[in-house]
Amino acid sequence: MFTITSYQEYAKDFGIRLKSYEGILMYVDNGAEIPEQVLFIPVSINRKKTMMEAVQEILASERQTAYELYFQAVKWIMPDAGKKLRQLKHIDINYNHRTAMKLVFGKFTFTDKPIDLDVKEDETEYGITLAIDGQIYSIQVRDLPFSYGYHKFFERL
């Protein structure tokens, strides 16, 4: 099992390039050790604003696409990912007017190598609504593009 630091050293030793994206992460906290899936919107965060102001500015500014990401894979490098995720400052939101979710800011790190599977990438998008502090926002959701590479770990901003 790796830690973030040991994986970064491993990647360096074996010429694996890593790339990171900051953004918004949303997940259902159903009590599982680590959320199975999360929604990730890669976007720059304005740290001069409050968390709520930054989220509202991002979601109101333009059409946003959230990527569905299988999150449990991080447990191989971050066995305490669920605990760390729950310790982050969050905003409570509602997804499609019924499911409670948590929204946090974070940084995802991926390998630089695109995912190479024997399946066709699913580019299907569907719309969802998010209710945040009395405001309703519409976003598009799709599977994470293969070009992002393999997700390795998550860090707080």
Q: What is the pLDDT of residue 1?
A: 60
Cβ 132 vs Cβ 93: under 8 Å: yes
Neighbours of 4 (CB within 10 A): 15
The single-letter DSSP state of residue 30 is -
Q: How far apart are CA 96 and CA 8, in angstroms?
A: 38
Per-residue tens of pLDDT for the chain, all 157 residues: 678 888 888 888 888 899 999 999 999 988 888 899 999 999 999 999 999 999 999 999 878 999 999 988 888 888 888 888 999 999 999 998 888 999 999 999 998 877 777 788 889 999 999 999 999 999 999 999 999 988 898 888 8
Q: What is the pLDDT of residue 157?
A: 86
Contacts of 48 (CB under 8 A, 6+ apart): none
pTM, two decimal places: 0.90
- Direct distance between the N- and C-terminal alpha carbons of the chain, in angstroms, rounded to an integer: 24
Domain ranges of the chain: 20-156
